[in-house]
Amino acid sequence: MLRFLPSRWALLAAVFVLAVGGSVQAQTRLGIPAPQADAPLAQQHGKVTAVFAGGCFWGIQSVFERVKGVVATTAGYAGGSSATATYDQVTTETTGHAESVKVVYDPSKITYGKLLQIFFSVAHDPTQLNRQGPDVGSSYRSVLFYTSEEQRKLGTAYIAQLDAAHVFPKRIVTEVTPLKGFYDAESYHQDYALHNPDNPYILVCDRPKIDALKKEFPELFQDYKGR
């Protein structure tokens, strides 16, 4: 199993081989309905923070940094303590952390509900328990780390809506839990897909997510040039 390789760097060659064989596919599901419950666009500009986890943070960040209305994104760790918030420790699968992305957005330009729709459709597969594609372990679990009661309600309601409509072939396993701390990942992880476009892992696992975002949400897609 790929999870026993020592790091994602060692995964690259294996992922590429699997992809050629057709075993690794983009974790996207186009055409899912928008949330029935959502907050309206704010009347004034502002900044709101939301944190999403759904597999490798490279792919999650590469999606959200290309969404209009998103002000900033940061790859990092959430769910564990500050003492264990390093890549080497998180990959041991003993810290409680999930690879996560902090999304700062302008609520006058995009709603949390629309971010949820993007997250559940093109950013990852919410029915995979403790894994995404070739990445296996609790650090790759699907989580909504909410920063307000409104986010908790909207996230819970949307999961119930999608499950009731049988949008996915299996039930959604995404956790909805309060954000107790977010810890920035190492600098080399930030904007990783942007800076390493020819990396086999990015080509197989993450580039299809960007393409799906552009196809499914063309009115929200924006080019991203980096920091």
Domain count along the chain = 1
Asked if 56 is an active-site residue, the reply is yes
Q: pLDDT value at position 27?
A: 54
**Any domain includes 105:** yes
Catalytic residue of the set 11, 19, 56, 122: 56
Tell me if 127 is assigned to some domain.
Answer: yes
Residues in CB range of 180: below 8 A, 6 or more apart: 78, 79
pLDDT the model gives residue 6 = 38
Q: What is the pTM of this model?
A: 0.90
Is residue 85, in this structure, part of any structural domain at all?
A: yes
pLDDT mean over 102-124: 98
Q: Using CA atoms, how far apart are residues 184 and 203, in angstroms rounded to an integer?
A: 24
What CATH number should be reported for the domain holding residue 136?
A: 3.30.1060.10
CA 98 to chain centre: 11
Q: Which residue has the higher pLDDT, 190 or 12?
A: 190
Does the residue 226 lie in any domain?
Answer: no
- Report pLDDT for 40: 95
For residue 190, tell me if it sits in a domain. Answer: yes
| Residue 227 domain-assigned (yes or no) | no
Of 196, 209, 187, 161, nearest in space to 52 by CA: 209
What does the pLDDT look like over 42-79, one tens digit per residue? Answer: 999 999 999 999 999 999 999 999 999 999 999 999 99
Query: What is the per-residue pLDDT across 140-197, written as a single tens digit (0 to 9) for each?
Result: 999 999 999 999 999 999 999 999 999 999 999 999 999 999 999 999 999 999 999 9
> By mean pLDDT, which of 15-19, 76-80, 97-101, 137-141 is the weakest?
15-19
In DSSP terms, which residues pair with 115 in a beta bridge?
Answer: none
Look at residue 117 and tell me whether its pLDDT is greater than 60. yes
Please give the residue that has the higher pLDDT: either 29 or 134.
134
Backbone angles phi, psi at 148, to 5 degrees: -155, 165
Residue 9 included in any domain: no
Q: Does residue 137 lie in a domain region? A: yes
Domain that holds residue 30: 18-216
Residue % of the chain over a pLDDT of 90 = 84
